[in-house]
Structure 1
Amino acid sequence: MVDVLLTVEPDPRFDPDIAHDLALRLRDELAQLDVDSAALATGGPAPVGTKGPDAVTLAAVVVAMSGSGAVLPALVRTAQDWLRRHTARHRIVMTLGDDSIELPAPTPEQQQSLIDAFLRRHE
């Protein structure tokens, strides 16, 4: 089983508290794919002296899948489509093992080039 972490970084013009809501919406879409699970990431107990988990932990989704095969490209496409539908400049950082790709809102050609390279590394 392979876990992919998708961290939603909201547009800096927005209140950081919306990150959790954005992650919930993304998780709902990712759960519709042929994956074993899609859940909000849990960071464990809050650090001493804090009231709760940090915003980044609340804005991350862990997707478990049995293999990267055809599911990983579908996962990337879904994240890419999700970003396109939002007019704000949100970003998603997708992490698989030690490898990460940032999906900001570059030109379609730039984004496709980055995605192709990421997928080649995980074939």
Structure 2
Amino acid sequence: MGEEMRLHIAEDGADPERVAALTGYLRDELRQLDVAEVRALPGSEPPPGSRAFDAVAVGGLLVTLGRSAEGLRSVVGAIRAWLSRGDGVRRTVRLELGGDVLELSEASAADQQRLIELFVRRHEPTGDSDGR
């Protein structure tokens, strides 16, 4: 099985129900890609007196990647495309993989592309005998 990438989704001014809906939309898009699994990120116990949203972190996804760098590239590309459809509302997706963090939001397209390339290169498999 491949590496696990954690995603944390936020939107300025969004309530937990809106963030949960956005997370569901992104989860559905990511499930169409060549990844092993996409599921809700397990949450922690809610603080006393707060409203619980099951036992998952609102806005959190856990993506289990395949073995190729293309899987990671496709996930990051899908996230970038999803962010661009924000209709002027500031959305942020924080990616965590292997101790590295990449936060995508309002950076220019060129800056996002540069950061994505660095992030993906850092996590490309090395030493594959089949050339991938």
Q: What is the TM-score of this pair, normalised by structure 2?
A: 0.81
2:104 matched to which residue of 1? 103
Which sections of structure 2, spanning at least 5 residues, go unmatched? 125-132
Contact kept in structure 2, 1:20 and 1:59, CA below 8 Å: yes
2:69 counterpart SS class:
coil
1:48-99, CA deviations, whole angstroms, 9 ceiling, x for partnerless residues? 6244259x91111111123242100000000000001112110100110211
What's the Cα RMSD here? Answer: 2.0
Contact kept in structure 2, 1:42 and 1:58, CA below 8 Å: no
The structure with more radius of gyration: 2
Which sections of structure 1, spanning at least 5 residues, go unmatched? none
1:112 matched to which residue of 2? 113
1:40 counterpart SS class:
strand
* CA distance in 1: counterparts of 2:82 and 2:64, whole angstroms: 19
Shift of 1:47: 4.0
1:43 matched to which residue of 2? 43
* CA distance in 1: counterparts of 2:110 and 2:98, whole angstroms: 26
Matched, 1:26 2:26: yes
Number of residues of Structure 1 aligned to a counterpart in Structure 2: 120
Matched, 1:82 2:101: no
* CA distance in 2: counterparts of 1:62 and 1:97, whole angstroms: 13
- Percent identity between matched residues is 32
* Residues 7 and 98 of structure 1: CA distance in aligned 2, closer, same or farther (over 3 Å): same
* Residues 108 and 6 of structure 1: CA distance in aligned 2, closer, same or farther (over 3 Å): same
Partner letter of residue 93 of structure 1? R
* CA distance in 1: counterparts of 2:47 and 2:107, whole angstroms: 39
Partner letter of residue 92 of structure 1? V
* CA distance in 2: counterparts of 1:99 and 1:53, whole angstroms: 28
* Residues 16 and 52 of structure 1: CA distance in aligned 2, closer, same or farther (over 3 Å): closer
